[in-house]
Amino acid sequence: MTETVQAPGRGRSGPSIADVAQLAGVSSQTVSRVSTGAENVRPATRERVLAAMDELGYSPNHAARALRYGSFGTIGVIAHRLARTGESRTVEAVVEAARAEGYTVSLVDVQSPSSDDVTAAAARLSHQSIDGLVIIRAETATPASLAVPPRMPVVVSDSRFVGHHPAVAADQVTGTHLAVQHLLDLGHRTVHHLAGPADSAPAEIRVDTWREHLVGSARPVPAVVRGDWSARSGYEQGRLLAADPDVTAVFCANDEMAAGLVRALYEQGRRVPEDISVVGFDDIPLTEFLWPPLTTVQQDFHLIGSRLVDLLLRQIRDRETLTDSRIVVPTRLVVRASTAAPRG
Amino acid sequence: MTETVQAPGRGRSGPSIADVAQLAGVSSQTVSRVSTGAENVRPATRERVLAAMDELGYSPNHAARALRYGSFGTIGVIAHRLARTGESRTVEAVVEAARAEGYTVSLVDVQSPSSDDVTAAAARLSHQSIDGLVIIRAETATPASLAVPPRMPVVVSDSRFVGHHPAVAADQVTGTHLAVQHLLDLGHRTVHHLAGPADSAPAEIRVDTWREHLVGSARPVPAVVRGDWSARSGYEQGRLLAADPDVTAVFCANDEMAAGLVRALYEQGRRVPEDISVVGFDDIPLTEFLWPPLTTVQQDFHLIGSRLVDLLLRQIRDRETLTDSRIVVPTRLVVRASTAAPRG
DNA sequence: CCGGTCGATGTTGACGTCAACATCCGGCGG
DNA sequence: CCGCCGGATGTTGACGTCAACATCGACCGG
In this predicted structure, the answer to whether residue A136 has a pLDDT above a threshold of 50 is yes
State the pLDDT at residue A257: 97
Q: CA nearest B3 in A: which residue?
A: A319
Ordered by where they begin, the domains of chain A are 17-60 (1.10.260.40), 70-170+301-328 (3.40.50.2300), 172-300 (3.40.50.2300)
Q: What is the mean pLDDT of residues B153-165?
A: 83
**Cα–Cα distance between B249 and A281 in angstroms, integer?**
33
Instruction: Name the maximum alpha-carbon separation found in chain B.
Output: 91
Taking the Cβ of residue A302 and every Cβ of chain B, the question of whether any pair is shorter than 8 Å is answered with no
Total count of residues recorded for chain A: 344
Determine, for residues A150 and B108 on separate chains, whether the beta-carbon distance falls below 8 Å. no
Within 202-221 of B, beta carbons closer than 8 Å to A belong to: none
Confidence of residue A127 (pLDDT cuts 50, 70, 90): low
Q: CA nearest A10 in B: which residue?
A: B71
A contacts of B66 (beta carbons < 8 Å): 63, 66, 129
Q: What is the per-residue pLDDT across A246-256, written as a single tens digit (0 to 9) for each?
A: 999 999 999 99
Q: What is the per-residue pLDDT across B240-291, written as a single tens digit (0 to 9) for each?
A: 999 999 999 999 999 999 999 999 999 999 999 999 999 999 999 999 999 8
In this predicted structure, the answer to whether residue B39 has a pLDDT above a threshold of 90 is no
A contacts of B88 (beta carbons < 8 Å): 82-83, 87-88
Q: B273 preceded by cis ω (within 30°)?
A: yes
Alpha helices (H) along A225-300: 231-242, 255-267
Is any atom of nucleic acid chain C found less than 7 Å from the CB of residue A45? Answer: yes
Q: Which long-range contacts (CB under 8 A, 24 or more apart) does A101-104 make?
A: A101/A309, A101/A313, A102/A73, A103/A73, A103/A74, A103/A75, A103/A131, A103/A309, A103/A313, A104/A73, A104/A74, A104/A75, A104/B106, A104/B107, A104/B108, A104/B124, A104/B125, A104/B128
In this predicted structure, the answer to whether residue A6 has a pLDDT above a threshold of 50 is no
The alpha carbon of B38 is separated from its chain's Cα centroid by a whole number of angstroms, namely 38
Within a 10 A sphere around the Cβ of B203, how many other Cβ atoms?
23
Q: What is the mean pLDDT of residues B207-222?
A: 98
Alpha helices (H) along B146-270: 172-185, 201-216, 231-242, 255-267
pTM of the model: 0.85
Determine, for residues A291 and B291 on separate chains, whether the beta-carbon distance falls below 8 Å. yes
Q: What is the mean pLDDT of residues B192-209?
A: 94
Taking the Cβ of residue B343 and every Cβ of chain A, the question of whether any pair is shorter than 8 Å is answered with no
Distance D2 C1' – A144 CA (angstroms): 63
Q: How close is the nearest chain B Cα to the Cα of A321, in Å?
A: 7
Q: Considering only A14-18, A256-260, B89-93, B219-223, which range has the smallest mean pLDDT? A: A14-18
Q: Considering only A47-51, A211-215, A255-259, B10-14, which range has the smallest mean pLDDT? A: B10-14
